[in-house]
Amino acid sequence: MTNRWISFCEIHWRYYIVAGTDHIGTLDEYNKDAGEYYEVWLPKGRPVDLEDARTILHAFIQRMQSTSILYPLPDVPTMGSMVSFVVPRSGLMPGVEDLFIPLVQVVFRYFWTSVAGKSLHTKFQLEPEDVATVVHPAFVMVEHLVKRAPSRATEFVKELINLGVIETLSRGFVLIKREPGFDEELKFSPLIRVCHEFSNSLLHVGPPTYRESEFADTFVEWFKTLRYLRSQDSMLNTQTGHTNWYPMSERVWVEIGDILEYDVQVPRAEALSRAFVSSAPVIRMWYTVGHDVTKWTGH
């Protein structure tokens, strides 16, 4: 029975990626079931050959560029599931590397368009785990390039930076609500796991000087987010109820900083940290209003 379910889910995702419209009204029911039985619906299959792999990737890229109401775009959570299907955790076939940049371009641009409220799906509520689902396949692609086409890895990572990958992860942390009885581990775990994978994949991309120079501006984003969250805890008096947040967040920020070789600029980092503490109200307003997404959406 399990194998039959896997086959059925494979058919569903292939149909969803290439279908022009939903004539029989089944996709909503499939998505509802996928939400209730998440593990069952996780993509488990692999393309049968290189032609099949390229066809699926091409189809996904074309679908995410659609502007027709007869070819509706998914919401962000569903898009994350679609990306997990075309870029499975088990890896990709050699021979599809040229499609990586077009793929992440449509994914991140649509993500920022949705965050800005400019997509058709205005009612969905973005969750931290949605961010992790959207970002994770990018690191699967980084690892693939490191192993199969190292010369392309630096170009791909630079494109991720330009598309706002650090800002995307930061947005995920900001979305985490801190309330009495809140399960921090449940919400933080997917994001922190993705950050660890990000750090590990970056270790093999370019020399330390490359990582430091390319990520210099976005490193500040980590400080903005951390200081915003801490100032929020301070203003809401929720620090004592969220003691786990501090060691978890500290580990992630230190790890990212170490990977990017910012240990040689500790004085600068400490100065930035103090500066963001002193400007907490400004940062709070900035995050309340939202990111300036023009850079990634073009609107």
- For the question of whether the overall pTM of this predicted structure is more than 0.85, the answer is no
pLDDT of the residue at 104: 97
Q: What is the pLDDT of residue 183?
A: 64
What does the block give as tokens for 96?
A: 């599809």
Domain positions in the chain? 1-125, 127-299
pLDDT value, residue 187 = 66
Residue whose pair of structure tokens reads 């400019």 in the numeric block: 118
Position 127 scores a pLDDT of 82
Tens-binned pLDDT, residue by residue, of the chain (299 aa):
445 555 666 777 777 787 655 544 555 666 666 666 656 665 555 667 899 889 989 999 998 988 777 777 888 888 888 888 889 888 899 999 999 999 999 999 999 998 888 877 666 678 888 888 899 999 899 999 999 999 899 999 999 989 988 888 878 877 766 565 656 666 667 877 887 787 778 778 877 777 667 777 776 666 676 666 667 666 665 554 444 555 555 565 566 656 555 443 444 444 444 444 444 443 333 333 344 555 555 55
User: CA 10 from chain center: how many Å?
Assistant: 23
